[in-house]
Amino acid sequence: MSSLSASESVPTKGLSVKVENLSVTYRTTFERVPTFKNAITRFGRGQRAVREVEALKNVTFDVPDGTALGIIGNNGAGKSTLMRALAGILPPTEGRIEVNGRISPLLSLGVGFNPMLSGRENIILGGLASGLSRAQVVARAEEVTAFAGLEEFIDAPMRTYSSGMYSRLAFSVAVHMDPDILMIDEALSAGDATFKTKAAEKMGELRESARAFFLVSHSLASIKQLCNDAIWLHKGTLMMRGTPEEVTAAYADFVNVGESAVILEDL
Amino acid sequence: MSTDKQVVDSERENEFTTTHHVYVPHKAGIPPLANYARELWRRREFATEMSRASLRAANTLTLFGQVWLVLNPLLLSGVYFLLVQVLSGGRHGWEFFAQLTAGLFTFYFISGSMGTGASSVVGGGKLLLNTAFPRLLMPFSAIRTAFFRFLPTLPVYLIFHVIAGLGFHWAVFIAVFFLFLLVVFALGLAALFATLQVYFRDTTSFLPYLTRIWLYASPVLWSIETIPPRFEKVITVLEFVNPLHSLLGGFTQCLVNGDIPSFTTFATATVWAFGVFAIGSLFFMSREREFAVRL
């Protein structure tokens, strides 16, 4: 995914993220479960079950250090694909992405955990996978647990967790892995009022200390409250870049609902 | 805000964690191998922890879990022993039983590696969607699991070894070398089947048939020395076509009989082990960036 030649390895000063003409097109199968049996039958009929998805089309933007960037858009606009591309999980099809900093592992809420394993095992596995050493992860595990308020349940398998507990842990893991660049994908929509307040506080704090902060949310109020910059994606294209107020207003206009209470709040 | 400043500063440039990454479209399928290998090594703890967690989840570390690991292949050895005994008119003794257990236990390590390896990537789907790390860690961790399920069967074999009065030879040390080759072979196999499983989810359904045929084609139920002359042609082909012929045959020959295998066996086993390792892992690496959209 990256050909790290010397010429490309010079970081651009003052920028956390630089995205140039990024297109992500991937081929995926529309079969429910891809099997060899189906492939053979299809081959006999001369059909193909692979579909191209153009998730992002020619997206260009810069994120200077200290930016809290809100990302809005309808479902399927390419928001999560953008996050995954920035994290290096999905390779670009065209264009170039430059990232300066360690990225937090959480992309969308509640995923990344193995439900059969305990909360603690999941914290440790997640941390190790993202490149921290065991000592660093073990040291953070306590903090993560305490912040999520899950001291009693941390050694129970995660399939026994409620969805709120699940998302509290996911959020807590993301913010405690010391990212330079924090990416939160629809994280505020779960958890109870107490945790939401705590999470908002923590995000405010991280916004100050992290080099950059990305927030994907359907809650326009959260975007306005937590971000100082915003982009709006629609069907893979970048529609607008501006202050959170401008962008959310344009988006609300576009979807033709007005700034009603429904889109301002999480349901 | 990194408190791991020292770590970050000393980190070398690579595509997975450094503080500076450039992602561009990949033209060739295989990532820079030196970087990949370095990252793989740096996150070996993840593979260890992953395997430990899955062993814990399957209760493998408890007493009865261990008993079960041994009991299953042991009962199978009993069944096959009876079968071969009946077919051959009852001329086999403890010595054959010892050889049978050694062969079966080892064969089950390989077939277990294929199974756990195949499901490693698809099973770890969620983590793959959220974190960038060298994906080869998943099948490699599966091999660690398979190996730790194989280990408790070794002392059980030793009991039969002693009962059969086979004695101890220094060739046992050569068996360690063959065991190493078997592990290398298993790593390649796991990577290969893990990739296939992503594209064809029914791969694991075919595996039982494959393992059964493979078992009959490998020197487990029969030994290389006791083959009737009329099968000689088949054996000369199998010797090179079936990787387990040299790998498993060499292993049991050292362990059970205390013989030192021929140079051909050494060479074939080494070539197969590293060949399959190279093919499996390179195939896996060339495909791994697509896994996120295929899961």
Residue A36 sits at the chain B interface (C-beta within 8 Å)? yes
Give me the pLDDT at residue B143, please: 95
Instruction: Find which of A2, A43, A82, A118 to mutate to test the B interface (most B CBs within 10 Å of its CB).
Output: A2
- On whether the CB atoms of residues A126 and B131 are closer than 8 A, the answer is yes
- CA A243/CA B231 separation, integer angstroms: 80
Q: In this structure, are B68 and B157 located in the same domain?
A: yes
Determine which of B4, B18, B20, B27 to mutate to test the interface with A (most A C-beta atoms within 10 Å).
B20
- Number of compact structural domains in chain B: 2
Residues of chain B with pLDDT > 90, as a percent, come to 29
Residue B101 in this model has a pLDDT that exceeds 60: yes
pLDDT at residue B140 is higher than 90: yes
Alpha helices in chain B (DSSP H): 5-10, 33-42, 44-57, 63-88, 94-123, 125-130, 137-150, 153-163, 172-199, 203-217, 232-241, 243-252, 263-287, 291-294
Query: Is the domain of B26 the same as that of B88?
Result: no
Nearest by CB to A26, which of B1, B206, B293?
Answer: B293
The pLDDT assigned to B92 comes to 75
CB proximity B44 to A under 8 Å: no
Q: Are residues B24 and B140 in the same domain?
A: no
pLDDT at B10: 42
**pLDDT at residue A264 in the model:** 56
Report pLDDT digits (tens) over A16-57: 888 888 888 887 777 777 788 888 887 777 777 777 888 888
Contacts of A84 in chain B (CB under 8 A): 129, 292
Q: How many CB pairs under 8 A join A and B?
A: 178
CA dihedral A75, A210, A173, A166 (to 10 degrees): -30
Mean pLDDT of chain B: 84
Three-state SS string across A49-96, please? CEEEEEEEEEEEEEEECCEEEEEECCCCCCHHHHHHHHCCCCCCCEEE
Up-side HSE of residue A84: CA atoms within 13 Å toward CB? Answer: 26
CB-CB under 8 Å, B2 with A92 = no
pLDDT of A7 over the 50 cut = no
Contact residues, chain B, for A133 at CB < 8 Å = 7, 45
Cα–Cα distances in angstroms (integers) from residue B182 to residues A44, A68, A236, B51, B231, in the given order: 38, 52, 48, 19, 26
Which residues in chain B are contacts of A90 at CB distance < 8 A?
289, 292-293
In a domain, B38, yes or no: no
Residues B194 and B270 placed together within one structural domain of the fold? yes
Q: Report pLDDT for B27.
A: 55
User: What is the rounded average pLDDT of the residues A168-193?
Assistant: 76
Look at A34 and B294 and tell me if their CB atoms are within 8 Å.
yes
What pLDDT does A96 receive?
87
Is the Cβ of B140 closer than 8 Å to some Cβ of chain A? Answer: no
Would you say residue B153 lies in a domain? yes
Residue A32 is predicted with a pLDDT of 72
Yes or no, beta carbons of B25 and A94 under 8 Å apart: yes
Lowest mean pLDDT among A5-9, B74-78, B171-175, B184-188: A5-9
B218 and B133 in one domain?
yes
Contact between B247 and B269 (Cβ < 8 Å) = yes
- Do B92 and B117 sit in the same domain of this protein? yes
pLDDT tens digit sequence for A214-237: 888 888 888 888 888 999 988 888
> For the whole model, what pTM was predicted?
0.84
Q: What is the per-residue pLDDT across A108-137, written as a single tens digit (0 to 9) for each?
A: 544 567 777 888 888 888 888 777 888 888
Q: How far apart are the C-alpha atoms of B223 and B99, rounded to whole Å? A: 8
Please check whether residues B158 and B211 belong to one and the same domain. yes
User: Structural domains in chain A?
Assistant: 105-211 (3.40.50.300)
**Least confident residue range of A119-133, B15-29, B105-119:** B15-29
Question: Which of the pair, B14 or B87, is modelled with greater confidence?
Answer: B87
- Report the percentage of chain A scoring pLDDT > 70: 85
Shared domain for B51 and B158, answered yes or no, is yes
**For the segment A91-109, what is each residue's pLDDT rounded down to a tens digit?**
888 888 888 887 776 655 4
Weakest-pLDDT range from A52-56, A157-161, B5-9: B5-9
User: Is residue B261 situated within a structural domain?
Assistant: yes
Check whether residue B115 and residue B183 sit in a common domain.
yes
Same domain (yes/no): B192, B67:
yes
Nearest Cβ partner of B132 from A39, A89, A179?
Answer: A89
The domain in which residue B195 lies consists of 43-294
The predicted pLDDT at position A179 comes to 78
Contact between chains at B22 and A35 (C-beta distance less than 8 A)? no
Question: Quick check: B275 pLDDT over 60?
Answer: yes
- Position B277 scores a pLDDT of 96
> Of B19, B39, B50, which has the smallest distance from its Cβ to A102's Cβ?
B19
* pLDDT mean over B186-208: 91
Closest-CA residue of chain B to A178: B2
- The answer to whether B45 faces chain A, any CB pair under 8 Å, is yes
Residues B125 and B250 in one domain: yes
Q: Which of B132, B137, B201 sits opposite A35 (nearest CB)?
A: B201
Q: CA-CA distances (angstroms) from residue A161 to A110, A126, A164, A166?
A: 11, 18, 8, 6
Report pLDDT digits (tens) over B78-93.
898 888 888 877 677 8
pLDDT band for A267, please (50, 70, 90 cuts): very low
Task: With respect to residue B37, please indicate whether it lies within any of the assigned structural domains.
Answer: no
Q: Are the Cβ atoms of A4 and B206 closer than 8 angstroms?
A: no
Most B-contacting residue of A4, A90, A93 (CB-CB within 10 A), to test interface: A4
B26 with A1: Cβ contact below 8 A: yes
Cross-chain CB nearest to B201 (options A34, A95, A206):
A34
pLDDT score of A55:
86
Q: pLDDT tens for residues B202-238?
A: 888 889 999 999 998 888 888 767 777 787 888 888 8
B216 domain residue, yes or no: yes
Domain for residue B167, yes or no? Answer: yes
User: Is B146 part of a structural domain of the chain?
Assistant: yes
Contacts of A116 in chain B (CB under 8 A): 57
In a domain, B206, yes or no: yes
pLDDT at A259: 54
The predicted structure's pLDDT at residue B106: 93
Same domain, B64 and B110: yes
**B17: contact with A, CB 8 A cutoff:** yes
Question: Per-residue pLDDT for B8 more than 50?
Answer: no
Neighbours of B59 (CB within 10 A): 12
The percentage of residues in chain A with a pLDDT greater than 90, rounded to a whole number, is 1
Of all residues in chain B, the percent with pLDDT exceeding 70 is: 91
ipTM: 0.78
